[in-house]
Structure 1
Amino acid sequence: MKKILIIGCGYGGVVAAWRLSSHRKTVSVTVIDKSRNFNFLPLLPDCIGRRISPRHLVYPIDKLSSIYGFNFVNEEVKYLDLDKSLVMTSQRNISYDYLIIASGSETNFYNNEQIKRFAYKLDGAVDASKIAADIKVREFDAFVIAGGGYTGIEIATNLRVYLEWAGEKKRIVIVERAPSILGPLPEWMKGYVRENLVRLNIEILANTVIEKIEEGSLAVSGGQQFNNAMLIWAAGVKTADFLQNLNCEKNPQGRIKVDANLKLKDNCFVIGDASYFQHQNIYLRMAVQFAIAQATTAASNVIRQIRGLPLRPFIPKDLGYLIPMANNSCCGNVLGRDMKGKTSIALHYLMSVYRAYGFRNKWGILKTLITGVGK
């Protein structure tokens, strides 16, 4: 029986384990993750504005283990030895015949210890709980979001919706080091989002960086000072440290470059955010849909390789993307069609409910979206 090891229990890891579960007579599957829970990332900002309970965005990995028949090791991976087919955690060395790396991504503080110490991040439900709780108990005068990408926009609009619900008029500022928000997205989308941010009285400081941060205050380039401010850091992500230290070709975020079959090495596959995959001269962006699709291909290729069959290349199908904002404005592109408005926001939440794990979580999310009351 071949030993298959999966690092990470996000969507990529769960789907890979699920796909392999039908081959239990020939393979044993072990999943390693430092968290005890699967975290549903797409709705984390909604814990602030729509007051979705963070408990509806987690699902115990132990339960997933029982459902899909894999072994679960709740430990953090520290080092990989691909030549010896070993994974080293903080407590043990684990050998494998095949490895699927699905470790996702995490907030990148760019080695700035001050920012890491004083800024809030949004990597999981625990982080969302902390932000939501501190907004209520700490009387911040301003809210600064570092990063004008998808996540930064979502966080800023959710903050405004929450503050309006609470009857508080506070300053919200998005700080973006690039000349404009939303990077390479089409100009019509940027314009649509900017107009909505103006309506919500959310400021944008482009070509600006955080220069100094202390507890309760920060300064940005250009001389502006924010006192008694909450800083939420959404200015980029990176792969886990054990991948950053791996000697192989990577992009600046630490994503591992893989071949057409998602392989890094003969018995090692990399998927999801950890994977830097090129198709038709374009590298795939980080997205749940690609993590799910790559997990299916990687699991299939592991079985095909065990059986001595030719591997199948991963051919992505881009279903599109949406930028949901908490006041029910939304824009994006779905199946090649530009979308904006209420239809697109409804599609976003329908897909979110569909992809959430557990009936109670699905019902909890749906009930909160309908009634506007989270618990």
Structure 2
Amino acid sequence: MKTVVIIGGGFAGLAAAARLRRAGDGVEVILIDRRPTHQFLPLLPDLVGRDLDPSLLCYPLARAAAQTRCRLVQATVHAVDIAARRVLTDGDAIAFDYLLLASGVESDFYGQTQVRERACEFRAAEDAARLRARLPAGQAATVVVAGGGYTGVEVATHVVRAGRRAGLRHRVVLVDPAPAICNALPDPFRRYIAANLLAMGIETRLGTTVADATHDSVTLAGGETFAPAALVWTAGVRTADFVHALPGSKTRQGRLEADPNLQFADACFAAGDVCAVVRGRQPLRMGVQAAISQGACAGDNIRRAIAGKPLRPYRPWDPGYLVPMANGRACGRVLGVPVYGRVATWLHYAMCLVRLRGTGCRATVLRVLLAGTPRR
């Protein structure tokens, strides 16, 4: 009997588990995750601005494990001992013959302990629900969103939408150290996003960072202070401490630089956001499609390794990206073609519905999306 341990029940981990289901009765698959649910992160911003029940985005891992014939262990991983082939958790140590790291990433506060204590993270459904509950109460006249990437833009626009639905007008400020919002995108997309943020009344502060935060104020590096204010953190990600502690080459964020077969050590594989697949000088961008395809490839390669067959290299395929905003505007590139406006918005939601787990959840989410067209 061979034991395969998968750390992480996200898109990559579940894709691998589905492939490993075909490995036969001689293989035991153990899925470890500290959460009881698989969370559908692409729709988290919509929890803030729409009447979505957070439970719709939380699929029970126990059900997913049963469907893929895994044994689920709900635990927090503290360390991985590659030499001894053991995963150390806050419960029992778990031995493995093969390992797949699919543990994703977490918020990076860059050593700012007080900011971490005061900020609202945006990595889980409960984070989005907490922010949504706070807005109608008028507890924050200003909402500062740290991080001007895809997620920061989505969150900022949904905060505006939530306020307007409640009859409130929050001041929303998007902060990023780069010279432009979504700075990594091509210039036409950056300009489209900037124009839409301006139309929605969202302010930007570029070339600066959040320096401090209290329970009711946020101060930027240049000294500008917002009060009363709430801070939402989407400014950066890193891998978990136990991943940073592993041997081998990693990116600045701690992502493991795996070989072409997604292997980073003997019998150890990585997939999803924790894995940096380097092409040229840069790792490929993180995303749902990459996580799913890497998880499937890693699962297949573990099956092949168990069977004594040669491993197959991961062949990335990127269908594109979209940046949806809460007023029905979006932009991005799909299959190499630039798309804008409501067409881009509905392409985003169509892909979300395809990937969302649970037929009933899909139907309910679709009803919410069709309930009304967002207004600028």
TM-score (norm 1): 0.97
CA distance in 1, matches of 2:78, 2:183: 33
Partner secondary structure for residue 184 of structure 1: coil
Contact 1:50–1:372 (Cα < 8 Å) also in 2? no
- Letter of the aligned partner of 2:275 in structure 1? S
| TM alignment of 1:20-99, pairs within 5 A | 20-99=20-99
CA distance in 1, matches of 2:321, 2:96: 36
Partner secondary structure for residue 135 of structure 2: helix
Aligned to 1:363: 363
The answer to whether residue 229 in structure 2 is matched with residue 244 in structure 1 is no
CA distance in 1, matches of 2:6, 2:167: 47
Query: 1:139 deviation in Å?
Result: 2.4
Aligned to 1:181: 181
The answer to whether residue 305 in structure 2 is matched with residue 301 in structure 1 is no
Query: 1:211 deviation in Å?
Result: 1.6
Partner secondary structure for residue 75 of structure 2: coil
Query: 1:303 deviation in Å?
Result: 1.2
Aligned to 1:13: 13
1:246-303 CA deviation, whole Å, 9 max, x = no partner?
A: 2321111110010000001120000100001113444111101011001111111111
CA distance in 2, matches of 1:164, 1:138: 12
- Letter of the aligned partner of 2:127 in structure 1? D
CA distance in 1, matches of 2:148, 2:133: 23
What residue ranges of structure 2 are gaps of 5+ in the alignment? none
Contact 2:324–2:348 (Cα < 8 Å) also in 1? yes
Partner secondary structure for residue 6 of structure 2: strand
| TM alignment of 1:225-244, pairs within 5 A | 225-244=225-244
Aligned to 1:324: 324
CA RMSD of aligned residues (A): 1.2
Query: 1:50 deviation in Å?
Result: 2.0
Higher alpha-carbon deviation: 143-152 or 235-244: 235-244
CA distance in 2, matches of 1:293, 1:4: 19
Partner secondary structure for residue 181 of structure 1: coil
Query: 1:125 deviation in Å?
Result: 0.8
Partner secondary structure for residue 235 of structure 2: coil
CA distance in 2, matches of 1:241, 1:283: 20
Contact 1:51–1:372 (Cα < 8 Å) also in 2? no
Partner secondary structure for residue 362 of structure 1: helix
Partner secondary structure for residue 172 of structure 1: strand
Aligned to 2:259: 259
- Letter of the aligned partner of 2:335 in structure 1? L
Aligned to 2:166: 166
1:289-342 CA deviation, whole Å, 9 max, x = no partner?
A: 011001111111111111221110001011000000010100000111111111
- Letter of the aligned partner of 2:182 in structure 1? L
Contact 2:173–2:204 (Cα < 8 Å) also in 1? yes
Contact 1:279–1:315 (Cα < 8 Å) also in 2? no
- Letter of the aligned partner of 1:246 in structure 2? L
Equivalenced residue count is 373
Partner secondary structure for residue 80 of structure 2: strand
Partner secondary structure for residue 63 of structure 1: helix
| TM alignment of 1:213-228, pairs within 5 A | 213-228=213-228
CA distance in 2, matches of 1:245, 1:260: 22
Query: 1:55 deviation in Å?
Result: 1.0
Query: 1:372 deviation in Å?
Result: 4.5
CA distance in 1, matches of 2:335, 2:160: 30
TM-score (norm 2): 0.97
Query: 1:24 deviation in Å?
Result: 2.9
- Letter of the aligned partner of 1:154 in structure 2? E
CA distance in 2, matches of 1:161, 1:248: 44
Higher alpha-carbon deviation: 2-11 or 276-285: 276-285
CA distance in 2, matches of 1:309, 1:248: 25
Aligned to 1:339: 339
Aligned to 2:202: 202
Aligned to 2:212: 212
CA distance in 2, matches of 1:112, 1:219: 13
- Letter of the aligned partner of 2:130 in structure 1? K
Contact 2:132–2:162 (Cα < 8 Å) also in 1? no
- Letter of the aligned partner of 1:287 in structure 2? G
Query: 1:52 deviation in Å?
Result: 1.7
Identical columns (%): 39
CA distance in 2, matches of 1:111, 1:142: 24
What residue ranges of structure 1 are gaps of 5+ in the alignment? none
Aligned to 1:147: 147
CA distance in 2, matches of 1:309, 1:325: 46
The answer to whether residue 355 in structure 2 is matched with residue 352 in structure 1 is no
Contact 1:20–1:29 (Cα < 8 Å) also in 2? yes
